[in-house]
Amino acid sequence: MKPADFQKKILTWFDQHGRKTLPWQIDKTPYRVWVSEVMLQQTQVNTVIPYFERFMQRFPTIETLANATEDEILHLWTGLGYYSRARNLHRSAKKMAGKIFPATLDDLQTLPGIGRSTAGAILAIAFQKKAAILDGNVKRVLTRFCGITEGLSEKFTLEKLWKTAESLTPEKRIADYTQAMMDLGATICIRGKPHCEICPLEKKCIAHKLGIEKNLPIAKLKKTLPVKQATFFILQHQQEFFLQKRPPVGIWGGLWSLPEFTGFLAEKDISGVCWQQFNLKPQHMRMGQTFRHTFSHYHLDILPVFMKIKKKPSKIMDNDQQIWYNLDVSQTIGLPAPVKKLLYDAHDSLSKIE
Q: Which residues are catalytic?
A: 37
DSSP string, 159-227: HHHHHHHHHH--SSSHHHHHHHHHHHHHHTS-SSS--GGG-TTGGG-HHHHHT-GGG-S-PPPPPPPPE
Torsion of CA 134, 135, 136, 141, to 10 degrees: -40
Distance (Å) of CA 24 to CA 9, 48, 98:
25, 11, 22
Q: Which spans in the chain are helix H?
A: 3-17, 30-39, 45-58, 62-67, 70-77, 84-96, 105-108, 116-127, 136-146, 155-168, 174-187, 206-210, 267-278, 337-351
Assess contact for 37 and 45: CB atoms under 8 A: no
The rounded distance, in Å, linking the Cα atoms of 284 and 232 is: 16
* CA-only gyration radius of the chain, Å: 24
The rounded distance, in Å, linking the Cα atoms of 85 and 39 is: 7
Assess contact for 73 and 90: CB atoms under 8 A: yes
DSSP code at position 311: S
